Amino acid sequence: MSAETVTISSLGAKGDGVAHGAKGPIFVPFALPGETVAVARVKNEGTIMSFASTSPDRIAPACKHFGPDGVGGTCGGCSLQHLAPAPYNAFKRQILIDALKSKGIEAPVGEIFEAHPHQRRRLVFSARRRDNDMVIGFMQAETHHVVVVEECPIASPGLVSHLETLKILARAAGADHFRITVTETMTGLDISLDGLRGGLADRARRDVTNAVLKLKGIARVSANGEIVIEPHKPLLDFDGARVVLPPGGFTQATLEAEAHMASLAAEHIGKAKKVADLFAGVGTFALRLGRKMSVHAVESDEKAIKALDFAARNTQGLKPVTAERRDLFRRPMMAFELKGYDAVVFDPPRAGAEEQCRELAKSQVKKLVAVSCNPLTLARDLSILIAGGYRVERVTPIDQFLWSPHVEAVAVLTKG
């Protein structure tokens, strides 16, 4: 370890401050461009010891767990909470622009759809036994230490108000260390206890059940994907279509971003009559689009596609919405199968949709909507589609993960 003073020139992709030393870049977490800081350096990483000058873009953190000095707390999240809103939004937008440029893509990039405090409806907590009790919180960065949280300004009030509820359930579960995924639904919290070795013992199952019966605001508790108790079906609403979320199932992190992404897709698709929704999940796009057009939804997860199909069959006023379980990584929808479709929406995991895009590039589908949580794989996929004759009309950055370096995007494309 060595001590030295450096000046930060930019932010890296993970939100760390970047200084340029004689031996290459130095990454300094929680430092901002223009700041001069004394750091304790280990290889190419520096820890702030003191400031010689600070940036006018530095602001007081909103959460006490971040640390009052604005150089990062211990909870492992919100790495950009000390950066003012305007440069923060510009940084996230630039991540997307840089990813597109890395593949030679010059496309109009819109202003970012902003995230705001108290919007997150889905969080993953860690639970660990400590001193004969259970603690609930987030993992400290690059450690196995659980930092107990008493507040979380990114989370919805409905999640924060149930922190003690989660602790009660963690005690009842009786395990030493596991994850708790919590999603706020229309009918209460969907709580999934995951990583339980051997599942819940019989006594723990009884204790969890009895605890839920005494508590309020819980729709369901599951353990390792198996339902333990379900006082209410945990429901999501997609433009009037009610979906029962599978245990621990995926949904977008904020309602606001979800609705905006769906509106961008609907606006581009316009008056299409037949649409394919690939990597459809539980129907975030398919069930909304089904109000105006025929939709074929494709998803590999069995529980998700069954939930989508059940909702489609039991919602009045939808055009035909069909559901197919299919692994699009191993068996993408082929170009000849896409004949007759006016538009395609696809929202793959972080790995992107490379093989599916190769088939889309061969197709004659006129309009595409690409939704992505990874700018780098999005850029790769768009480059495949551009080579196949598509034009990227615009890309909109979407922020769902406030004060983090993660940015999502919706790209709309046209052929012909």
Q: Which two tokens stand for residue 149?
A: 């949280």
The β-bridge partners of 194 are 179
Q: d(Cα 336, Cα 365) in Å, to the nearest integer?
A: 11
* Residue in the structure block whose two tokens are 């309020």: 216
Mark the binding-site residues for S-adenosyl-L-methionine, compressed into ranges: 252, 279, 299, 347
Cβ neighbour number for residue 222 with a 10 Å cutoff: 22
Mark the binding-site residues, compressed into ranges: 252, 279, 299, 347
Cβ neighbour number for residue 245 with a 10 Å cutoff: 25
Active site residue 63: no
Dihedral sign of CA atoms 90, 382, 334, 350 in order: negative
Q: d(Cα 393, Cα 110) in Å, to the nearest integer?
A: 11
| Options 78, 152, 357, 373, the catalytic residue | 373
User: Would you call 129 helix, strand, or coil by DSSP?
Assistant: strand
Q: Which of 404, 301, 403, 412 is nearest to 349 (CA)?
A: 301
117: enclosing H helix or E strand:
none
The β-bridge partners of 308 are none
What residues contact 410, with CB distance under 8 A and at least 6 apart?
A: 261, 264, 265, 369, 370, 371, 372, 395, 396, 398
Q: d(Cα 13, Cα 144) in Å, to the nearest integer?
A: 24
Any idea what DSSP says for residue 195? -
Active site residues: 373
